Structures are given as structure tokens and as C-alpha cells.
Amino acid sequence: MDIASRPSEPSTNPETADAAVPPHAPATIRREDYQQPAWLVPEVALDFALGLEATRVEARLSVARNPAGNGSPTLRLAGDGITAESVAVDGAPHGAWKMDGPDLLVDLPGEVHEVTIVTWTNPAANSQLMGLYASNGMLCTQCEAEGFRRITFHPDRPDVLSIYRVRMSGTKAQFPVLLSNGNCTARGEGADGTHWAEWYDPWPKPSYLFALVAGDLVANHDTFTTISGRTVDLNIWVRDGDQDRTHHAMQALKDSMKWDEEAFGREYDLDLFNIVAVSDFNMGAMENKGLNVFNTRYILADPDTATDMDYDGIEGVVAHEYFHNWSGNRVTCRDWFQLSLKEGFTVLRDQLFSQDMGSEAVKRIEDVRILRAAQFPEDSGPLAHPIRPDSYQEISNFYTATVYNKGAEVIRMMRTMVGPERFRKGTDLYFDRHDGEAATCEDFVKAIEDGAGADLGQFRRWYAQAGTPRVEARMDFAEGVATVTLTQTVPPTPGQPGKQPVVIPLRLALFDRASGANRGEELVVLREPSMQVSFAGFAERPVLSINRGFSAPIALDAGQATADLVFLAAHDDDPFARYEAMQQLVVQHLIGLVGGAMLCQAERDAGREAIGRALEAVIGDPALDDLMRGELMILPGETYLAEQLAVADPGVIHEEREGLKAWLGAQLRDQLIALHERASAVPYGLSAEARGARKIKTQALVYLAAGAPEVAADLAVQQYDAADNMTDRQGALMVLAGLDTPLREVKLAAFHQRYAGNALVIDKWFSLQAGSLHPRVVDHVKALSGHPDFTLTNPNRVRSLYMAFTAPHAFHAQGGEGYRMIADLIVALDPINPQTAARFVAPLGRWRRVEPMRSALMRAELERIAATPGLSKDTFEQVSKSLG
Ligand code: 0A1
Ligand code: ZN
């Protein structure tokens, strides 16, 4: 037994025996190596003696040899950063155990045993925010993906499901509220001002869904009656004073519970559903069984502090976590390669929910915009991976837009192909067939195949291949027949040089130019490298509208003439297609300019004017609601524009895009002022009309700021001063933050003063400055990193300053200062919070797609990070892949 000699700070690398050696070559875990667990753990009993600086954990694991396992007599329990104070087997101290790196190995003679292990942790020192940690004087846990092993030794893999019984005790004054999964079964007073509680969760669950919260919290309480008539107690726990900011989240929770019963036939399965909001959290939220833990930013909202976007984010994330109760918890993942099984499906479910709660069209457009901004660059860069990855070094790096958002798109395509009713039959079968199991993506596809009665054989390639498929669509017209030729290619990605064709469902319509009508929509499914479809009976060449509703997550080259795009932007009855035509009009124009294809001034002018006319029509179209108008007014982002080119000059893209914006702002100045005036007259409310008014109000300012800055500054100050809500206030301040006007400082200072102490709003204050269009933004960010409100220990604050800054404009400043700042951040943050640090690598990892001068500077920064001693597995994996 070598436990006593183990250093208290173990290696995070299971391959490294000596904890002092930095993990420079972390082990690669491969999907194909999956093996059933040798030992199962049917029951877990945990006893916590809570303390902020020292918590004692006694874990009693009932273990049973897995008949399907490899028969090993050695029980391997994963650990990370913990040491065992004692190990007992069947109630007696046990000698036959040893450490293997961070893991604890116990040799067991029989088939069934009880293993009791005592460990200690220091939650206050846990700056990684994984495992048990302290946040603002309270204790909470985060166990997904591999945080449970930072609390106690355990197999800590999602295919080991146990029934949990939890006891916790602590000082009543410090921890008046004691929560865990399931139901509270007993509570009582102890000696010396302590108290205790016992919790029991009847549903077997993997360790990543375990949660514990202890602290001084108050609840907004409500109830929900399920479809079968059971009453469920609902609580949202927050710090005293924040209760009034939880009503929107509570409404979202009740709406989600009802929606899941109707849309997917899923009823809640406990008598209690708790949500806790914490201000120190690495991600958005976590679906722990019966005890969801949320980043405060996805719970707290009132009109004075939260924007309309914040409200939507809360509704979506509350729904997402709630929906995991079935897609993730009742049916969980066999291993972490199957992450998209729960995440892709749950994202689709939350997207469909939000579509039903608000504007379906606007939600679809927003989701596509997110996919293009976050996932397309991932898919075309050094970190590209399939939605079901084949290998990883650190699983935390795979909570990506690919696994989540592309994963959702892939399932959405299945739904599009079989139709909603048959899809529902498939999901019913999936939940039925796999309830209580740890399943695979293959299980999901098979259930849809069987339940919906479909052949998804070739479709499975979407799970295995990375890269955004490219589809070229060309239309020929002769003798009244329109023939559309479709050609697909899936680009090579790291480790996948050759690709096979995928199944691409394309919703398509052909418009009659004269009447503006179409003959109904068709679903064309492209399976081969190329195909042709013909449509007869047209008097003149029709206009092609394809990939309507963004029916497939592809990059489409439809080679459309400007006139056709203008036509679709004005007439397409599919709202996404209409948005897409506007986007494409701008993309073709700007890419023509930056790619050097559009050299002659006349062509440039014609392009601008076509866009100007289309935008003017959008501004003035009485048939459009303002939420949709706002969408149509948004120009394609710089990252998306850069995506269109093999190698881009981000400086030129910025200049050209800003140039176009300024021209449009100047050209349509009067219409934009009138739009702003009309929208300003609409009183605050949460109706679609009022929200739409707020959206276009700020959109109008954005154009005016570029084309008529003095007018914009005046209107922004007016909007700021008149604001009775955060959407207007933030929109106005965003515009002012980008302008060189003395009022910029005045309003920023006023905003800071007004919201001092409100962490979520102070985050906005940092973001507005870091993401602004101001020419001296690099200096501003440098100064802000030294502001007394800035700290590296709170992920929201770090992101608010630096993620906003990685948006193209300032990040790519000449001379590489932006790159240096992000690299410095990564090096400084990595020892504190590796998971959050590693998320900043991707923007630098784009170096191969950037013009040579900047490219070299970006690469040099990656090399500097790579050379830093003691790098975490998280950052190591991302940096080495980005350089590789
Ligand atoms: N399952 C959560 C996401 C999540 C993943 C890892 C975490 O560790 C810090 C936290 C949350 C979800 O999809 O919402
Ligand atoms: Zn999720």
C-alpha cells in the first residue's frame, strides 16, 4: 500500500506515474477501445461533513462483478486530486489496495462487496470548478464529465449506474439549505449548531449526474401538475434578494414540463425539481437528476437588468436542462463518445420548444446563425471532429458546437425526411427501448429507423464524418423544363482525408417570376456525389429556392444571379430562404470585393445598390413583423464571411463590411431615422411586437453609427436616457462604445455606477467595451484587465472581457497585439481553470486560414503556449491539435 506516500496534488494524466511531471503527452482515449466495466456499482451511499476549506467524504460503494465484464478481480476507481484516508472492504480495514497514478485499485476476492473510502477535499481551493467547490460562501458540485472523481474514488464512467443515498451535515448558519438529487427523506439538528439532511434518488444514475448544494439560499417555489395528475414541487434557489428575478425561469420550467408531455410524451418522474443558480460556473447549466445547477446568467432576469436575448437564453437553457431528464438522464450515454446522443437530441428538443414558444421563423434563423458562426469554423479548422468523435485526450474539449448544434441538425434532418409524426414514433420507441440504459448514437438511429420505418443506412455517415458538406446547385432551363443539378463534396478534415457522400435532404421550390408564386415545395434527397431533378411546365426560367428552412447543415453554392436573390429576398414564402437570400446578396458582393473578383467600380456600385434597394424594401415592407425585419437587417458576420475564403485577410473583410454598412447607413439615413422613431414609440412589454420594436431600434442605430455617426450618437444618447429596460440601454451603449464621442465615457461610467455590484450586468459592461468597434479597443481591453472588477477566477467575467474581444475586429489588430493578449490570458488562466482556458485556443487555431503576416503571428503565440511548462491536458490537446 503506497497511499501515505502519494503527493496531495496528483497528476491529471493517468499515464504519468510521477505527479510532478507535466502531462506533455496525455493519453488518447479511443472509441473503438470501449470495454464493458469489470465491476458494477448498484448502490452508492455518500456521507459529507461539509466545510468550505475541508470537507470529509465517506463513500460506501456496493460493488458487484459485471458478468459481461472481463472478470478482473481488481476494482479500478478513478480519482483526481484526492487521496484516500482509509479504505475498508465489507466493513473491515483493507490492506490490498494501491494507487495507480490518480486511480485507486482494490483487489476483491468475491462477486459482491461493499467498499468504503474516506477522502477529504478543499472546496475553497478548487478554482477549476469541477467536483465540489465553493462559490460565494456556498458549496456546490459539477461532475460532468469527470468531476465526480475529484470528490471520491469511483469508476466515474457513464455506463455505471447507481442508486444514490446522500447524507450531509454542516453548520446551520453557514449552510442553512442542504440539497441533493431526488427527495429529502430525513433531516435533523446536530450538536454545536450543525444540522443534517438525507436525500434519496430512486432512479439509477451515472456519477456525472450526482449533485450537492449547501448554502444560504432562498427559493421561489411553485408547483406543476403532470399529465397524470401528480403534483411536483418546483424550487429555484438563489441568494436572498434575487427571488424577484426568477419568475421568467420558473415560467420557462413550467412551459417546458408541459411541452415535453405534449411534444414527446415525457412526464416528470420525481415529486421535486430543484434548480440552483451559482455565479461561478464553467458552462451554462447542468442537468443533475432533480437538482439542476445553473450559471446565474441563465436564471436571473428582470427588465432592468436583462435583455430580450437574455430572456430567450433563459427560456432555452431552462428547457434544455429539463429535457435532459429524459434525453440524458433516463436514457444516458454509454461512454463520452456518445455525448451527442444526449446533447444533439436535447438541443433539437430545446430548439423545437423555443420555436413553439415564440416565432418559429426567427428562432430557426437564429439557430442557423449560431451554427454558421460557431460550428462551421470548427468543422473547417484543426479541431474538426465528427459529432461522434473517435478519440480524445480531454473530454471537456468535446462540449462543442459540433457535438451540440451540428448534432441537433443531424437529428433534425432525420425528422425532415420521415416527417414529424413518424419521427415521434421513433423517439417513443427510443425512450421505451432504452429507458434506464446507457445507450449509443447507433441505438438512437436504430430506434428512429425501426419506429419511423425508414432506412438510415447511409445516413449514419453524418455521425462518422467531420466537415461541412459543400453542395453546388445549378439550374438549366430549356423548353419549359427546369433541370437542377446537385453535386456534393465533403471536404477533408484532420485524420479523415477521404470522405464518402452523405444523405442531404433539400427542401426546394421553384418560383414563377411573373406571379411571384411557387408550385409547392418538394423534398429532394441527394445521396450520390451528384444528381439531377427536372421540373416541367414553366413558361419562363423560374427562380430556384433551395435548402429552405436550412433543411441540411451544408455550405450551399447555388450560383444565383443578383436579380434572383433580390427576387427571393422580396418574395420567398419560406422565411429562412428569404433571410438567406438577403445574406447571400451581401456575401456575394463582399466576397467579390475582398476576394479581388469585383474590380470595376460599376460592378461595385451595382452590387451596393441592389443591397440598398433590398434593405430599403425590408425596412418599408408592411407585411413583415419587426422581429423578422430585425433578422433580415442583420449583415453576415465577419467570421462567416472569412469562412467563404480559403485564406482571408480579416482586416480587409472588416473594412469592406464596415464600408458597406456605412454606405447603407448614409444612403438610407432618413428611413433608418424614421424606423428608429417609430420603434421608440412602442412601450416596453414582452409581446412579439414590443420585442420586435426594440430589435429594429438598435439595428437602425447600428447602420446609422456607420453612415451618420453624429446622428447615431444623438439618437443613442436619447435611447439610453429614455430606456426603461436593458435591451434599449445596452443597445444604445453598444453603439456609443464604438463611437469616438465624449459621451461614450460619460454613459459607460453612468452604466457602471448604476449597476455596481450586479455581476451579470457588470459582465455586459466589460463585453460592450471589449467587443466594440472603437479603434482603440486593444488599449481598452488591456486597461480593463486591470480594473478592480476584473478577476480570472470567475468564468463569466473572463468570458465577458476576452471572448467578446476574440470577435474578429480587434483580435486581428495589425502587429498581433490581440493574439498576444489571448495567449497571455491562456497561460495565466490555465493553472486556475484549464477548462475555460482551453476554450480560448480555437480563435488562434484558425491561423492557417488567415493571410500570411497575421498567420505567422498567431502560430507563434500557439507555439509560445505549447512551450509553457505544466500545461493542462485541456489546453495541451487544443494547442497541439491547432499546431499539428
Ligand atoms: N450537460 C450540460 C453541459 C455541461 C457540461 C460540462 C459541464 O462542466 C463544467 C457543465 C455543463 C448541458 O448540456 O447543459
Ligand atoms: Zn445539454
CATH of the domain at 71: 2.60.40.1730
Q: Which residues of 454-466 are buried (b: 16+ CB within 10 A; e: fewer)?
A: bebeebbbbbbbb
Domain CATH for 384: 1.10.390.10
What is the pLDDT averaged over residues 67-73? 97
In a domain? residue 681: no
Burial class (CB in 10 A: 0-12, 13-18, 19+), 705: buried
Q: Is residue 279 part of a domain?
A: no
Q: Residue 25: its pLDDT value, please?
A: 81
- Is 283 a pocket residue for ligand 1 (Cβ < 6 Å)? yes
Does residue 7 carry a pLDDT above 50?
Answer: no
Of 522, 552, 582, the one marking the end of a domain is: 552
**Does residue 600 share a domain with residue 535?**
no
| Dihedral pair phi/psi, residue 286, rounded to 5° | -140, 135
Establish whether residue 285 lines the binding site of ligand 1, counting it when its CB lies within 6 angstroms of any ligand atom: yes
> Is 728 inside a domain boundary?
no
238-284 pLDDT per residue, tens: 999 999 999 999 999 999 999 999 999 999 999 999 999 999 999 99
591-604 per-residue burial string, b: 16 or more CB within 10 A, e: under 16? bbbbeeebeeeeee
Residue 760, CB half-sphere, CA atoms under 13 Å: how many? Answer: 20
Question: For 36-57, what is the mean pLDDT?
Answer: 98
**Residue 183: other Cβ atoms inside 10 A:** 15
Of 182, 617, 260, residue with least CA distance to 428: 260
CA 422 to centroid of ligand 1, rounded, Å:
30
Say yes or no: 599 and 501 in one domain: no
Q: How far is the CA of 289 from the centre of ligand 1 (A)?
A: 13
Task: Please report the atom of ligand 1 found closest to the CA of residue 320.
Answer: 14
Residue of 58, 198, 287, 321 marked catalytic? 321
Does the residue 169 lie in any domain? yes
Residues 604 and 569 in one domain: yes
User: Residue 146: nearest ligand to its CA?
Assistant: 1
Residue pair 487/502 in contact by the 8 Å Cβ criterion: no
333 Cβ closer than 6 Å to some ligand 1 atom: no
User: Count of domains in the chain?
Assistant: 4
CA distance 233 to 223: 5
Burial of 801: CB neighbours in 10 Å, binned 0-12, 13-18, 19+: buried
Query: Which ipTM score applies to this complex?
Result: 0.99
> What letter does residue 172 receive in the DSSP assignment?
T
In this structure, the dihedral spanned by the alpha carbons of residues 844, 850, 852 and 853, taken in order and rounded to 10 degrees, is -60
Ligand 2 center to 634 CA (angstroms): 28
> Can you tell me the distance from the alpha carbon of 576 to that of 579, in angstroms, rounded to the nearest whole number?
5
Q: Could you identify the atom of ligand 1 that is nearest to the CA of residue 346?
A: 13
Q: Which three cell numbers stand for residue 791?
A: 478577476
* pLDDT tens figures, 324-342: 999 999 999 999 999 999 9
The CA distances from residue 81 to 49, 64, 148, 830, in Å, are 18, 26, 11, 16
CA nearest ligand 1 atom 1, residue: 286
Asked if pLDDT for residue 595 goes beyond 60, the answer is: yes
pLDDT of residue 245: 98
Is the domain of 379 the same as that of 475?
no
Q: Which pLDDT belongs to residue 531?
A: 98
Q: Looking at the structure, tell me whether residues 500 and 584 fall in a common domain.
A: no
Residue 596 pLDDT class (50, 70, 90 cuts): confident
Note the pLDDT of residue 2: 29
pLDDT value of residue 6: 28
506, 573: one domain: no
Taking the C-alpha atoms of residue 494 and residue 881, their distance in angstroms, rounded to an integer, is 9
Average pLDDT of the chain is 96
Is any atom of ligand 1 closer than 6 Å to the C-beta of 340?
A: no
**739 DSSP 8-state letter:** S
Q: Which of 140, 142, 144, 276 to mutate to test the pocket of ligand 1 (most atoms within 8 A of CB)?
A: 144
CA of 400 to the centre of ligand 1 (A): 11
Dist. CA 855–CA 853, nearest whole Å: 5
* Distance from the alpha carbon of residue 456 to the mean position of ligand 2, in angstroms: 25
**If you measure from the C-alpha of residue 436 to the centroid of ligand 2, how many angstroms do you get, rounded to a whole number?**
18
Parallel, antiparallel, or unpaired for β 522-526 and 504-511? antiparallel
At 797 the pLDDT is 98
Residues 190 and 64 in one domain: yes
Domain that holds residue 434: 334-464
- For residue 717, pLDDT beyond 70: yes
Residues 384 and 398: beta-carbon distance below 8 Å: no
Atom number of ligand 1 nearest to Cα 321: 14
What is d(CA 177, CA 172) in angstroms, rounded to the nearest whole number? 8
Q: Whose CA is nearest to atom 2 of ligand 1?
A: 286
Taking each helix axis as running N to C, give the angle between helix 247-264 and helix 339-357, from 0 to 180 degrees, rounded to the nearest 10. Answer: 110
* Percent of the chain scoring above 90 in pLDDT: 95
Contact 287 CB / ligand 1 (< 6 Å): yes
Residue 13 has pLDDT above 60, yes or no: no
Q: Hey, whose CA ends up nearest to atom 9 of ligand 1?
A: 282
Q: Is residue 354 part of a domain?
A: yes
Structure confidence by residue, pLDDT tens digits, 815-829: 999 999 999 999 999
E-state strands within 341-401: 391-392
Domain boundary among 504, 534, 552: 552
Does 67 share its domain with 174?
A: yes
- Tell how far the Cα of 627 is from the centroid of ligand 1, in angstroms: 30
Q: What is the CATH number of the domain that holds 537?
A: 2.60.40.1840
Sign of dihedral through CA atoms 277, 279, 285, 290? negative
515 and 454 in one domain?
no
Residue after which a domain boundary falls, among 552, 573, 590: 552
Place of cell 445598390: 609
Ligand 1 pocket member 321 (CB < 6 A): yes
> Can you tell me the distance from the alpha carbon of 791 to that of 312, in angstroms, rounded to the nearest whole number?
27
Q: Is residue 62 part of a domain?
A: yes
146 lines ligand 1 (CB under 6 A): no
Residues 475 and 608 grouped into a single domain? no
Nearest-CA residue for atom 5 of ligand 1: 144
pLDDT at 807: 84
Q: For residue 345, what are the β-bridge partners?
A: none
Q: Is 247 helix (H, G, I), strand (E, B) or coil?
A: helix
From the CA of 344, the nearest ligand is 2
Sheet strands (E) in 7-73: 29-30, 39-49, 55-65
Annotated catalytic residue 321 = yes
Same domain, 181 and 70: yes
Does residue 22 form part of some domain?
A: no
pLDDT band for position 4 (cuts 50, 70, 90): very low
Cβ pair 606, 553 in contact under 8 A: no
Whether residue 61 is found in the same domain as residue 152: yes
Q: Is position 707 within any domain?
A: no
Q: Note the pLDDT of residue 709.
A: 98
